[in-house]
């Protein structure tokens, strides 16, 4: 029996098919008016679900947000509130 070498990504880009919204319990709500564009939420998001456009935070892609609440915990300006998923 021939074994494949492990830890090789044979099909790059496949994580786009693995949306995590279905099992999320909480969701972040971003308040643009309170946001100072510091970028901490973007930097700490483990799912890369927060988008930066023209060097400013633009939106959260809730398809890939797992609701871990890290973004809200690092936001020093309370610009991200966590609400229970419906």
Residues 13-72: tens digit of each pLDDT? 666 677 767 778 999 999 999 999 999 999 999 989 999 999 999 999 999 899 999 999
Q: What is the tens place of the pLDDT at every residue in 63-74? A: 989 999 999 999
pTM for this one?
0.76
Burial class of 48 by CB neighbour count within 10 A (0 to 12, 13 to 18, 19+): exposed
φ, ψ (nearest 5 deg) of residue 36: -105, 5
Per-domain residue ranges for the chain? 21-84
| C-alpha to C-alpha distance for 50 and 57, rounded to whole angstroms | 7
Q: Which fold has domain 21-84?
A: Alpha-Beta Plaits (3.30.70)
């Amino acid at each position: 029996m021939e074994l494949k070498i492990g830890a090789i990504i044979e099909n790059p880009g496949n994580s786009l098919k693995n949306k995590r919204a279905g099992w999320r319990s909480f969701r972040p709500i971003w308040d643009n008016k309170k946001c100072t564009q510091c970028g901490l939420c973007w930097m700490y998001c483990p799912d890369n679900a927060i988008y930066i456009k023209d060097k400013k935070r633009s939106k959260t892609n809730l398809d890939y947000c797992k609701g871990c609440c890290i973004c809200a915990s690092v936001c020093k300006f309370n610009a991200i509130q966590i609400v229970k998923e419906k």
